[in-house]
Amino acid sequence: MVRLNKHRLKAFTLVETIVSLILISVSFGICFIVFNQVSIGQNLKQEAVLVTEQYLMELEEGKHKLENHSFRIRELEVSVLVDNYERIESAFAVQLLVLQKEEVLYTIKRIILINEADED
């Protein structure tokens, strides 16, 4: 017991202090794990958007062929689907699907015009 200005205060024991510190650290640890899992999912979606936008820019520049195929980047699998666009010979509809473990994270469709001069 501690006396402070004629009042009695009960002092915490060392065991109670250690137990309270353990409970606080466990609760902060659980919060950190939950936050980390939520932010990982958002980072994958952002990476999927960046990968598809970069691929479409390179496709428009002529660095890739207009054909159906798929490729992997880290944990993501990107499927490229190319179709002729309606009745225009030099236009193609390109759809990119970004998958992670057979779950679709992101999809985008874009129409790409190809000049005859670019094909030669």
- Cα→Cα distances 48→10, 18, 42, 65, 73, Å: 58, 45, 10, 20, 9
H or E, element range at 6: none
Q: Which amino acid is at 8?
A: R
CA geometry: angle 66, 107, 103, nearest 5 deg: 115
Q: How far is CA 35 from CA 31, 45, 49, 52, in A?
A: 6, 16, 22, 26
Whole-model pTM over 0.75: no
Residues lower than pLDDT 70 in the chain: 1-12, 116-120
Residues 99-119: pLDDT tens digits?
A: 888 888 888 898 888 775 544
